[in-house]
Amino acid sequence: MGQQQLLLIVLGILVVGMAVFVGISLFRASAIESKRAIITNELVNLAAMAQQYYLKPSSLGGGNRKFTGWVIPPELLNTAAGHYTVNIFQDSAIISGIGNEVVTNNDSLKMQINVRHGSYKTIIIN
């Protein structure tokens, strides 16, 4: 009877250990997806700001059909989700975001959005 009880205890410990491991990995995956969604949302917001600047006449403080001169507002350069940089060209802008959440080893979430006057394209790098 003692051997059977010991076997059941060991089996119970293994099942609980596997459940904890699966729970932790699911929580981590959910946190990463949540952070990725936040970064995507902030990138789309910045893309909309860049498009507004592009469409606004220079007399109203816009770019007059050019992205040159647009900068990320200082309060949006670093947020709770990550930090953002922009490369400006005359007819497009590339906004990059690096998240605070570490995905694997020392790699953070990295995303970029390519902005044109009427569209944008989001790219997940990591």
Count other Cβ atoms within 10 Å, centred on residue 31. 11
What is the spatial distance between Cα 101 and Cα 109, in angstroms, rounded to a whole number? 6
Residues of the chain predicted below pLDDT 50 = none
Query: For residues 21 and 35, what is the distance between their CA atoms, to the nearest angstrom?
Result: 21
* Alpha-carbon span 95 to 74, nearest angstrom: 14
Q: Cβ distance 54 to 68 under 8 Å?
A: no
pLDDT for position 46: 95
pLDDT (0 to 100) of residue 86: 96
How big is the chain by its Cα radius of gyration, in Å? Answer: 23
State the residue range of the domain holding 85.
Answer: 2-124
Structural domain count, the chain = 1
Residue whose structure tokens are 């309060």: 75
**pLDDT value, residue 109:** 86
pTM: 0.80
